[in-house]
Structure 1
């Protein structure tokens, strides 16, 4: 069934996307291969943060330059993404250590024992959680960044007399237009994926306080919130960097 769904996706992608769809599909396949290598490297004990840095760099370059071409907008987006990714990395690291949220939660702590699987995992689970967040934010943040960079670029091309402040304002307006839908998409994707967990918590009669302090609930919401924060932060960063790129290189 997975192969059938995959085939339907590829056919529709190529038919509706044309040449651009083929390039996007190629970029997607490259990123899947990079992600699988990331998992293999973590499995063999390579440093999680170094592996994540390499993975995110390769995925970002693939999405931007293979899919969208090498130009001023994609270069500015790459720099913007690097700035925001570093910020999100340290924020996620701080939150993950402070919340002690890695490892098994109260809902799955006995699942491996029930399935008679070994529960001793020789991986730093905090590092794995942060790595998951960083890899997970790439797609959503790039979407917002490329939209803001493109808006600033087009506005500057058509109105070369605009000041840097006016360019920033145009980037903010474009970012505001797409932030709502992007954050809603991220939030409801996470909520929908965890619907079974909510039903289980309801059956276990969780109070609102217990829900807020639940490790399982936090583990679900953590990557979603980090992605949302990344999307919000990328708007001013991308607008400012694109404004400087246009002024310097054009």
Structure 2
């Protein structure tokens, strides 16, 4: 009976993760307690063929005693480092992972069990190389006219940019396959969509600046306390770290 209940619960968890489209989700297992606030992975990508550190931050995190990776094929937990409390009041736990060279790229989950038996799940990705972004800027806001079947419509748009560094040099000014994952996080819930770069300006072979826009309609359900998170994704599915910012449109 307990086994069937756990399977039903796990299926509900998967359904929630697919609906919410967020990168970390906290859950409750019978007999265990979950954290009060959702943890987040600071840099959610580890590179195959290397030893990488996954750092998880959260307001209610406590010292982790065990980590379980799923799927576990091709990846091993090497070390769980001591809990650190940062100046901003957040706690951080770093997990050292060893990833085999032939490990399959894509998303994995890490289940963290604390000494007080609280459990949290965070999502991360295995990639083939490092892809990092920094210096997120809100370049401008504007009113944009779009054409619909029923006529033209004026909507608010926000123009952003960030710098990137791509170890493999896959992203370039003619790249039409790169995309920006936009995540709207509102407390314990979230949603997401993809934006296409409007322009990529290269500064050498491996770095440059990505420009993109989002519309107010895409954030229709946003509340003032929500935050935006951006991540760059290349044509092979490699994902960058995340950058965060406040909502660009007033009155949400």
Tell me, yes or no, whether TM beats 0.5: no
TM-score of the pair, normalised by structure 1: 0.23
The structure with the largest alpha-carbon Rg is 1
**Structure in which a larger fraction of residues adopt helix:** 1
**Structure in which a larger fraction of residues adopt strand:** 2
TM-score of the pair, normalised by structure 2: 0.23
